[in-house]
Amino acid sequence: MTEEFVALMVGLDRLVDEAKPEEFRQLPDGLRRRLIVVMHAHMVFRDLCARYDAYVLRERLPPPIANLSN
């Protein structure tokens, strides 16, 4: 994963974990809808990562190669 992608995921983690409903309701409708889509996609991504990690541990697979170009 690139550093930018990791930074994006960390930022989304904070956004999802620290979201305050009253602040969220004050956002413009279009922005709120886009944010819901992004937050949902991020939660799905976190779930897939957790499932993959559990699969790797269960099957005792070696960790994936992070960067093939090195």
Please check whether residue 34 lies inside any domain of the structure: yes
| 69 part of a folded domain | no
Q: Quick check: is 64 in a domain?
A: no
- pLDDT-derived band at 68, boundaries 50, 70, 90: low
Identify the pLDDT of residue 66: 58
**pLDDT digit string, tens, across residues 44-67:** 888 888 888 888 888 887 766 655
Q: Which pTM value belongs to this model?
A: 0.52
Phi, psi of 60, rounded to the nearest 5 degrees: 55, 45
Residue 18 placed within a domain: yes
Amino acid in the structure at residue 32: R
Q: Quick one: what percent of the chain has pLDDT higher than 70?
A: 81
Q: What is the mean pLDDT of the chain?
A: 77
- Compute the C-alpha angle 57/63/69, nearest 5°: 165
Looking at the structure of the chain, the number of domains it has is 1
Interhelix angle 3-18/29-59, rounded to 10 degrees, is 110
Tell me which residue range forms the domain holding 15.
Answer: 3-59
